């Protein structure tokens, strides 16, 4: 069966709370995906009869980043500024786009097409904070830390926008902020997630289609 291979279809990731229909015998989600068993992902949902061989290029869509609400007792956890959030968005999007361009099997497309998949990696429930000694009048763009998160990878058909695959996992930071400068630690983490995305996408190139 193609289940185990398909787990490796996307790169990393995380779970969204899409509800499976109560009347669906195979746990079909509201957007038409079926739950698959996985040894790689905590959650894996795939559209029936999805055939990755129909696609030869990928187009990157900017990530959506959602931060975990912080208890009032940890005030420094809420100190991430709009500028810092913007910087993390830029770091993540750049890392993902650059890694996708290194794929051995999929070229990077700039426009939708019949053989183009839209790839999106969202980061949910991101743990972030600004160290206490970094607080001050200045809006520091790079002095913040990123911890655990949920990475949700989605593959969409670029013409119809129909979602084909959703895979998710909890992920951790690549480096602790006290081991590297804060901005270096964030970039190292984004790069590690991007590399995993690209490696798993390449592994999907030989996946056989489901039986009709």
pLDDT in tens, 142-200: 556 777 888 888 899 999 999 998 888 888 777 655 555 667 777 888 888 888 778 76
Q: Which two tokens stand for residue 73?
A: 């007792």
d(CA 202, CA 212): 24
- What pLDDT is attached to residue 28? 84
Q: Which two tokens stand for residue 133?
A: 């000694």
Closest by CA position to 77, among listed 17, 37, 131, 151: 131
pLDDT by residue (tens digit) across 138-150? 444 455 677 788 8
pLDDT higher than 90, residue 109? yes
Q: How many CA atoms lie within 13 A of 141 on its CB side?
A: 7
Rounded to the nearest 5 degrees, what angle is found at the Cα of 98, between the Cα atoms of 92 and 100? 100
Hey, is 16 helix, strand or coil? coil
Calculate the alpha carbon distances from 129 to 19, 64, 81, 101, 124 in Å: 31, 18, 10, 31, 15
pLDDT higher than 50, residue 24? no
- What pLDDT is attached to residue 62? 93
Q: How many CA atoms lie within 13 A of 184 on its CB side?
A: 7
CB contact burial 43-61 (16+ within 10 A = b; e otherwise): bbbbbeebebeebbbbbbb
CB contact burial 76-94 (16+ within 10 A = b; e otherwise): bbebbeeebeebbeebbbe
**Residue 17 pLDDT class (50, 70, 90 cuts):** very low
Distance between terminal CA atoms of the chain? 13
- What pLDDT is attached to residue 144? 66
Average pLDDT value for residue range 37-61: 85
């Amino acid at each position: 069966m193609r289940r185990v291979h398909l787990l490796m279809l996307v790169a990393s990731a995380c779970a969204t709370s899409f509800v499976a229909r109560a009347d669906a015998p195979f746990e079909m989600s509201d957007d038409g995906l079926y739950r698959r068993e996985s040894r790689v992902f905590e959650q894996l949902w795939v559209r029936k009869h999805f055939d990755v061989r129909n696609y030869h290029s990928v187009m990157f869509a900017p990530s959506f980043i959602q931060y975990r609400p912080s208890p009032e007792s940890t005030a420094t956890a809420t100190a991430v500024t709009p500028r810092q959030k913007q910087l993390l968005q830029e770091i993540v999007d750049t890392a993902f786009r650059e890694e996708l361009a290194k794929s051995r099997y999929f070229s990077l497309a700039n426009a939708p097409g019949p053989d183009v998949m839209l790839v999106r990696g969202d980061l949910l429930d991101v743990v972030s904070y600004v160290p206490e000694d970094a607080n001050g009048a200045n809006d520091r763009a790079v002095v913040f830390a990123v911890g655990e998160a949920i990475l949700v990878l989605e593959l969409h058909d670029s013409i119809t926008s129909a979602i084909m695959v959703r895979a998710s996992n909890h992920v951790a930071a690549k480096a602790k902020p006290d081991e590297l400068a804060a901005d270096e630690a964030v970039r190292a983490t984004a790069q590690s997630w991007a590399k995993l995305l690209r490696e798993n996408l390449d592994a999907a190139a030989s996946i056989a289609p489901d039986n009709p």
